[in-house]
Amino acid sequence: MNVLIVASAPETEYDYVRELAGQADYIICADGGTRHAAACGIQPDLVVGDFDSGKRPDVDTETITLKPEKDDSDLMCCTREALKRGADAITYVCASGGRIDHFLSNLSLLEYLYEQGCQGRFCDSRNRVTFHGGGEMHYTADPAYQYVGIIPLDAALQGVTLRGLKYPLTNAEVSRSQVITISNEAAAPEYMISIETGRALVIESKDK
C-alpha cells in the first residue's frame, strides 16, 4: 500500500502534493497537515496529532488524538500507524520548511523505514530524497530533477562507486565533513550508486 503523509511544515506550493496524492492509496495528515490537505482539496483517510498548536480539526474522517507529552513526534506516530495498516511505501510532503530540528528529524524517518523494510521518500517542490543503506542501488534518471547529491549519514562512506553520472567515482571514500558528492547529474537513462560501507541520503533536486 502506497501511503502519503502530509506534515504541517510551512508550504505554499501544492502542485506536487496534488500529484502525489493522486498516486496514493491512503492519505494521513499529521496534525496541522490538515490545512495543507484542505488547500489542495484532498480528503485524508486518517488524521493523527496532539493538536498542541491549534484546535482539533473539524474533519469528517478517522482521527487519533495524541498526548502532547510524548517521546515520538506527530510524524513518527503517523509513520507507525501507516506501517501498522500495511504500508509498504511511504511518501512525506509538507515536511521540509520551518524548524530545522523538525526538518532533520523528518528526514531521519527514511532510515527508520529502511530498517522496517518499507520504501520511503521525502518530497517537496524542488527535492526528492531517498535512503541508501549500502550495497548497489540503481536509479532511473528523471528529467524533472537536474541534480543528484549523496549526503553521508556516517562519518565516512567507504567504497563509493558511481556509474551513469556526469562525475563518476570508483571505490572512493566520501567523508561527512568534506562532501564531494553533491551537484552531480545523470549522464545515462539509468545510473548506479554503490556504497560498500555506510549509509547516505540520495537527493534528486532542481533549481527553482
* Residue carrying the nine cell digits 509538507: 94
Query: Could you give the number of structural domains in the chain?
Result: 2
How many CB atoms sit inside 10 A of residue 48's CB? 25
Are residue 57 and residue 96 in the same domain, yes or no?
yes
d(CA 173, CA 159) in angstroms, rounded, equals 6
Question: Which residue among 101, 125, 149 closes a domain?
Answer: 125
pLDDT score of 204: 98
Coil, strand, or helix at residue 104? helix
pLDDT score of 67: 78
Residue 57 sits in which domain range? Answer: 2-125
Per-residue pLDDT of the chain (208 residues; tens, 9 = 90+): 999 999 999 999 999 999 999 999 999 999 889 999 999 999 999 999 877 655 566 677 898 888 776 778 889 999 999 999 999 999 999 999 888 998 999 999 999 999 999 999 999 999 999 999 999 999 999 999 999 999 999 999 999 999 999 999 999 999 999 999 999 999 999 999 999 999 999 999 999 7
Cell (9 digits) for 65: 488524538
